[in-house]
A and B are shown apart, each in its own frame.
Chain A
């Protein structure tokens, strides 16, 4: 079964037609990169996948988005439940003003888990999965703000992983980071795909080519091409895609 199956999705910000008839299938344990120039709709599409756009007034959507076969926009779907399964990491690290431990434990606590042993075990597992353990194991009670930008972003990834999502959405997760931290995030994405399905929006085409299995190129609200990443970066079908990935356009 497909993890994400978007069918004929159209999306509007009031009168602005931001996404035009997008259909995109994401298989389990794959990394999909969404690329395209600013304003092309890639972040809008990403946010549709865990209903982040619900919060923006004046928006509407047609078409459907299925998560493991279930329509996530069906009336009986609880958005909180959906977001437990489809987590998100944003462009800027956004740790809470809490300790490192409590940042990661937060999602578990708000979901009503009270078993401290389980919470501790899950926090450690998540921080290890986010490749941050060696750097923070001796300062779990310190403020998350004491960490570097790259460490904070990996902490945010750990926080997203703690509630055991199936999909992790990443909106330019490394764009605010230095090259070393970026490389760590990219390595992490490669490791995480064993257990998670990842959809990443990036402006960095080399990053898209390094981390993803498949790449979708968006332009002016349309998905111009969606194919294996190797194909997109060696022999794209569409001229427009070629112009974008070679930097002749945008």
Chain B
């Protein structure tokens, strides 16, 4: 194996490792919120630094590969895609950390089971976890079609987010003393919705890397 190929294999492994860490961060943050598990939320916050360290390492790796090896064609697309996937994964982990912070910083927050059910919070958490895993599967196997579903799933996530606003507003009217918790809940939905957007960005990068297709700012049914 040539030197460049060895470097690309190492870079790929770092991205996969980071991806798995981010999946566990999102999954744990979701679980922590649904089960009001403050210890688990604290663990997510603690591991955020590890994600940041991966981001810096992968950034430096990409920079070195471009400077030293001048990759072209699929190698160049791989490095460019990784550069952006890296940044998207880091943002996703930030949101997972933000969700955990809501529990860690506000020990009194207890969400009503009724509002969690009506807003479909659990469905949304499951959905973004699924999207992240699909992205990783597509990246690991170099199969862009594994990432194709992410775009429609992102739309479903957006829809849950939009509908949650009305549900939460109705709940506040009925339970004005719970307004503070409800505002925090809206924050959680916003973060999950942004995680969905970043998963879609990652899927675009996977199509760019594997199929050399630019899907950014275009209707995704054209892929």
- A residues within 8 Å of B by Cβ? 205-206, 209, 232-236, 241-242, 245-248
For A232, the chain B residues whose CB sits under 8 A away are 73
Q: Compute how far the CA of A2 lies from the CA of B90 in the bound complex, rounded to whole angstroms.
A: 52
State the 9 A-B residue pairs at the shortest beta-carbon distance, nearest first.
A235-B212, A233-B72, A242-B73, A245-B72, A246-B75, A246-B73, A245-B73, A236-B73, A206-B70
Q: Mark out the residues of chain B between 45 and 101 whose CB falls within 8 Å of any chain A CB in the assembled complex.
A: 70-77
Q: Which residue of A has the minimal Cβ distance to B71?
A: A246
Tell me whether B70 and A246 are in contact (CB under 8 A): no
Tell me whether B4 and A234 are in contact (CB under 8 A): no
Tell me whether A234 and B212 are in contact (CB under 8 A): yes
Q: Given A209-B72, A246-B71, A246-B72: A234 and B2 within 8 A (CB)? A: no
Tell me whether A234 and B73 are in contact (CB under 8 A): yes
Q: Compute how far the CA of A94 lies from the CA of B192 in the bound complex, rounded to whole angstroms.
A: 68
> How close is B43's CB to chain A, nearest CB, in angstroms?
42
Q: Compute how far the CA of A245 lies from the CA of B73 in the bound complex, rounded to whole angstroms.
A: 7
For A234, the chain B residues whose CB sits under 8 A away are 72-73, 76-77, 212
- B residues within 8 Å of A by Cβ? 2, 4-5, 70-77, 212
Q: Which residue of A has the minimal Cβ distance to B211?
A: A235
Q: Compute how far the CA of A241 lies from the CA of B72 in the bound complex, rounded to whole angstroms.
A: 11
**Contact with B4, one of A209, A233, A245, A247 (Cβ below 8 angstroms):** A247
Q: Compute how far the CA of A188 lies from the CA of B75 in the bound complex, rounded to whole angstroms.
A: 29
11 sample A-B contacts, Cβ–Cβ < 8 Å, listed by A number = A205-B72, A206-B70, A209-B72, A234-B76, A236-B73, A241-B73, A245-B73, A246-B71, A247-B2, A247-B4, A248-B2
> How close is B116's CB to chain A, nearest CB, in angstroms?
46
Tell me whether B77 and A235 are in contact (CB under 8 A): yes
Q: Which residue of B has the minimal Cβ distance to A235?
A: B212
For B73, the chain A residues whose CB sits under 8 A away are 232-236, 241-242, 245-246
9 additional A-B pairs beyond A209-B72, A235-B77, A242-B73, beta carbons within 8 Å, are: A205-B72, A234-B72, A234-B76, A235-B73, A245-B72, A245-B73, A246-B71, A248-B2, A248-B5
Q: Compute how far the CA of A245 lies from the CA of B75 in the bound complex, rounded to whole angstroms.
A: 10
For B77, the chain A residues whose CB sits under 8 A away are 234-235
For B71, the chain A residues whose CB sits under 8 A away are 246
For A242, the chain B residues whose CB sits under 8 A away are 73-74
Q: Compute how far the CA of A235 lies from the CA of B70 in the bound complex, rounded to whole angstroms.
A: 15
> How close is B52's CB to chain A, nearest CB, in angstroms?
31
For B212, the chain A residues whose CB sits under 8 A away are 234-235
* Residue of A209, A246, A247 ringed by the most chain B CB atoms within 10 A: A246
Q: Compute how far the CA of A234 lies from the CA of B71 in the bound complex, rounded to whole angstroms.
A: 9
> How close is B114's CB to chain A, nearest CB, in angstroms?
52
> How close is A52's CB to chain B, nearest CB, in angstroms?
31
> How close is A199's CB to chain B, nearest CB, in angstroms?
21
Q: Which residue of A has the minimal Cβ distance to B3?
A: A247
Q: Which residue of B has the minimal Cβ distance to A205?
A: B72
For B4, the chain A residues whose CB sits under 8 A away are 247
Q: Compute how far the CA of A206 lies from the CA of B67 in the bound complex, rounded to whole angstroms.
A: 13
> How close is B12's CB to chain A, nearest CB, in angstroms?
15
Q: Which residue of B has the minimal Cβ distance to A236?
A: B73
Q: Compute how far the CA of A241 lies from the CA of B212 in the bound complex, rounded to whole angstroms.
A: 15
Q: Compute how far the CA of A246 lies from the CA of B72 in the bound complex, rounded to whole angstroms.
A: 6
Q: Compute how far the CA of A129 lies from the CA of B27 in the bound complex, rounded to whole angstroms.
A: 65
Q: Which residue of A has the minimal Cβ distance to B4?
A: A247
For B75, the chain A residues whose CB sits under 8 A away are 246
Q: Which residue of A has the minimal Cβ distance to B212?
A: A235
Q: Compute how far the CA of A245 lies from the CA of B69 in the bound complex, rounded to whole angstroms.
A: 12
Q: Compute how far the CA of A28 lies from the CA of B2 in the bound complex, rounded to whole angstroms.
A: 39
For A245, the chain B residues whose CB sits under 8 A away are 72-73
Q: Compute how far the CA of A236 lies from the CA of B73 in the bound complex, rounded to whole angstroms.
A: 7
Q: Which residue of A has the minimal Cβ distance to B76?
A: A234
Q: Compute how far the CA of A209 lies from the CA of B71 in the bound complex, rounded to whole angstroms.
A: 12
> How close is B7's CB to chain A, nearest CB, in angstroms?
12
Q: Which residue of A has the minimal Cβ distance to B72?
A: A233
For A233, the chain B residues whose CB sits under 8 A away are 72-73, 76
For B2, the chain A residues whose CB sits under 8 A away are 247-248
